[in-house]
Amino acid sequence: MSIWAIGDLQGCYDATQRLLERIRFDPAADTLWFCGDLVNRGGQSLETLRLVHSLRERSIVALGNHDLSLLAVGERAPAEKRKVNPDLQRVVLAEDSDELLGWLRRQKLVHADRELGWMMVHAGLAPQWTTQQAEQYSAEVERQLQGDGYRGLLRNMYGDRPNWSPGLRGNDRWRAIINWFTRARYCTPRGRIAIEEKGPPGTQAAGLYPWYEAPGRVERDLKIVCGHWSTLGLTLTQGIHAIDTGAVWGGKLTALQLDSEDLRVVQVPGRDVTALPPHLRKE
């Protein structure tokens, strides 16, 4: 029995199948942790979502920003759904769209296994958040997302403000939580996210730090596996294990074995961007 965390799929179905074959995934015994962004940009989002849905009894999903955006698109009128990119159109207009999106909406923002010693999140945690607080804030948003008010949450989740504060309420609070869990890369020591900064460490503006290196951050009692930051590359440091290695951009798709003492890493080639039409090679 093995437990594998897998980086951002982003609609790269072929690469996902290659990776499952490489790790010899056994659905009768193994468990998969998907670090979010199952869909978008890869051209095979419908196939990828159907695959992960078919593995739902043996997998755990942390929602990413692209997954939440897909859920928001799924609530639009049919004419508006046809205005999104073809990859997402195929999902929201599919005959099994309601089943797939209903299942996706019931997934987590954060998953923790204290016996195993790991926490999974798509992007990051605010410097001042303990793992226990992260679970609490995740549960707040999940209750909204899975309850009757989910349409209001999806309509109001967009925006870079406000910065996180424990005193926030309602949509402002949930938006700030979502931004940390699904969009964070760099931040200030006081926890202001710099959404616009997306490059590798060393390219950010002065006064900004990778979220896992922010001065004054709390000590955490779990190792964290995450995705979201393809320009960071494979990073295994300071209790942080970042495994988005840019499969959708022609990089690699990465799996990290969580129940192995030596942190076994397995990678396969991602999407073949050279086979794409020229106008699609840079998105």
Number of H-type helices and E-type strands within the chain: 9, 12
pLDDT tens for the 283 residues of the chain, in order: 899 999 999 999 999 999 999 999 999 999 999 999 999 999 999 999 999 999 999 999 999 999 999 999 999 999 999 999 999 999 999 999 999 999 999 999 999 999 999 999 999 999 999 999 999 999 999 999 999 989 999 999 999 999 999 999 999 999 999 999 999 999 999 999 999 999 999 999 999 999 999 999 999 999 999 999 999 999 998 789 999 999 999 999 999 999 998 889 999 999 988 765 443 444 4
Q: Is the dihedral of CA 80, 86, 90, 91 positive or negative?
A: negative
Q: What integer pLDDT is reported at residue 275 of this predicted model? A: 63
Rg (CA), the chain: 18
- How many other C-beta atoms lie within 10 A of the C-beta of residue 32? 22
Q: For residue 106, which of 164, 43, 52, 176 has the smallest C-alpha distance? A: 52
* Whole-prediction pTM: 0.94
DSSP 211: G
Return the exposure string of 209-229: e unless at least 16 CB atoms fall within 10 Å of the residue's CB, then b: bbbbebeebeebebbbbbbbb
Q: Return the pLDDT at 1.
A: 85
Q: How many Cβ atoms from other residues are within 10 Å of residue 249's Cβ?
A: 18
Are the beta carbons of 224 and 212 closer than 8 angstroms?
yes
Report CA-CA distances (Å) from 38 to 67, 91, 194: 7, 12, 24
Instruction: Please give the domain boundaries of the chain with CATH numbers for all domains.
Output: 3-271 (3.60.21.10)
Closest by CA to 42, choosing from 234, 268, 195, 253, is 253
